[in-house]
Structure 1
Amino acid sequence: MIFTTAGEKGGSGRSTIAEHFTVWLSKQDFDVLLIDADEQGTASDFTAWREQTLDGNVGYTLVQLVGANLRKQVETMKSKYDHIVIDTGGRDTTSQRAALFVADVAIVPVQPRSHDIWTLAKFTEILDEIQSGRATPLTAYTFLNRADITSLDNRESAEALAGLEQMTFVDCAIKNRKAYPNAGASGLTVFEMGEKSDAKAINEITELFKRISHVNIPITA
């Protein structure tokens, strides 16, 4: 399947989600391609650090693709991999639209802040445009990312997301934990920190991925 992280607001943590999702899929023995479609190249930087930390064995393939041609190139590559994860930038670009058009699943992380919620109005319009040009519907999931450990904003934002018709709200918030940047600084994920692992971070992001991945892994109670 093809998964695209997308959205209209910078700083929502799309790249962190894309990187963790790619590694999580690879750990299920899938052959995964990570496409960096963000001109800032965050996923590429992460992979470069990962190569140094893991002596080149990153566990997946990375390519950089931007622009309208992304759609055609992904179509030619999709038969070579079990799954493709596309990381896009936080704005309406040709690359993001091409990635959404070719995807099976859109993954839309949102911070529980009023400005981030407001930007979804424009993004839902983009989704409507994408859906109108597709032969099959695009499945879109949204969830709270970088959420405060305990905050009224979380509940209010969750209610707003749950009311959107264009996306399915996944009630599995990813909290704003130090485990994510600590792991990312070495090109690693929270799954790979050994004795420094944060069990809460691992459990919450694993549960999210089980819900949105559509792969044959049962959701545990």
Structure 2
Amino acid sequence: MIVAVANTKGGVGKTTLAVQLSLARALAGRDVWLIDGDRQGTAMAAIAARSEAEKQPGIACAQYADGPQIRAQVQQQLGKWDDIIIDVGGRDSTALRAALILADTLLVPFAPRSYDVWALDDMAELVDDARSVRDGLRAFAVMNQADPGPLSTDNLDAIAAVTEVPQLIYLPTPLRRRKAFSNAGGAGLSVTELSPRDPKAIAEINALVKRLF
């Protein structure tokens, strides 16, 4: 499966999710290729930290700067991998558009803040563009960096706004603001590998993985 983790809005935690999804699949025995399509190279740096620590399983990771590179490399290597995770976004780019054309599934993380929710309209337009070129793209939105507690007004308002974007299916598997996610991601670790363990963070990422795959 090819999964694009993308949003034209920066700061929503897409790289953290892309790394966590890649590691979850690798720890489940899948051959995973993580593509860093963001010029900042944060995903690449996380996987480099994992490699330097000699943590197993290893993750294959490559960074490509633009859409033509991503498209060419994925088309050439598609048969080598069980799962390909593409981390793109922060802005509308050729890399993001190429990822949407290639992907089976799009995951759009958003934070429960007004500007983040408004940006989903931009992603909806890109989904429409991708679907005009190819059929079968599944597009999901997931709340990341959610406020603590199920009755947070910001959380509930954001969920209501997302359900009004017909191009995206809201996944009821929010990930809350937890140090475990940032600490694990910076070290190239899954939250399941982090010590001390955070059972709530582990349960949240496992629920998301189950819904996506």
- The TM-score, its normalising length taken from structure 1, stands at 0.91
| Deviation (angstroms), 1:163 | 2.3
User: Where do 5+ consecutive residues of structure 2 fail to align?
Assistant: none
1:164 matched to 2:184: no
Letter in 1 for 2:169: T
Residue 139 of structure 2 corresponds to which residue in structure 1?
140
In 2, Cα distance between equivalents of 1:25 and 1:183: 16
Identity %: 40
Does structure 1 retain, via aligned residues, the 8 Å contact 2:121–2:165? no
Structure 2 partner of 1:108: 108
Letter in 2 for 1:122: D
Q: Is the 8 A contact 2:34 2:84 kept in 1?
A: yes
Aligned mates of 1:68, 1:176 — CA distance in 2: 31
Structure 2 SS opposite 1:176: coil
Partner of 2:82: 82
Q: What corresponds to 2:127 in structure 1?
A: 127
Distance 1:96 1:80 in 2: 22
In the TM superposition, what is the alpha-carbon distance from 1:137 to its structure 2 partner? 2.2
Q: Which digits, 9 at most, give the CA deviation of each residue in 1:8-28, with x for residues without a partner? A: 110000000000000000111
Distance in 1 separating the partners of 2:16 and 2:186: 11
SS of the counterpart of 1:34? strand
Equivalent runs, 1:1-221 vs 2, <5 Å: 1-53=1-53, 55=54, 57-69=56-68, 70-134=70-134, 136-150=135-149, 151-194=152-195, 196-213=196-213
Residue 92 of structure 2 aligns with an amino acid whose one-letter code is D
Q: Which residue of the partner structure matches residue 216 of structure 1?
A: none
Task: Answer whether contact 2:19 2:188 (CA < 8 A) is retained.
Answer: no
CA distance in 1, matches of 2:117, 2:111: 8
- Equivalent pairs, count: 210
Deviations 1:139-168 (A, max 9, x none): 011010001113210011011112221011
Please give the secondary structure, in 2, of the residue aligned with 1:123.
helix
The amino acid across from 1:67 in the alignment is D
Unaligned regions of 5+ residues in structure 1, if any? 214-221
Residues 18 and 79 (structure 1 numbering): CA distance in 2 closer, same or farther, change over 3 Å? same
**TM superposition shift of 1:58:** 4.8
Could you tell me which amino acid in structure 2 is paired with residue 9 of structure 1?
Answer: K
The alpha-carbon deviation at position 57 of structure 1 amounts to 4.0
Work out the CA distance in 2 between the residues paired with 1:155 and 1:41.
33
Aligned twin of 1:219: none
CA contact (8 A) 1:51 1:58 kept: no
After TM superposition, the score normalised by the length of structure 2 is 0.95
**Which amino acid in structure 1 is aligned with residue 186 of structure 2?**
A
Amino acid in structure 2 at the alignment position of 1:40: Q
> How far, CA to CA, are the matches of 1:187 and 1:82 in structure 2?
20
Deviations along 1:168-213, one digit per CA (max 9) or x if unpaired, are: 110111000111112223221211014x010000001100110012
SS in 2 for 1:140: strand
Give the counterpart letter for 1:25 in structure 2.
Answer: R
Cα distance in 2 between the residues matched to 1:159 and 1:143:
13
Task: Give the superposition deviation at 1:72.
Answer: 2.2
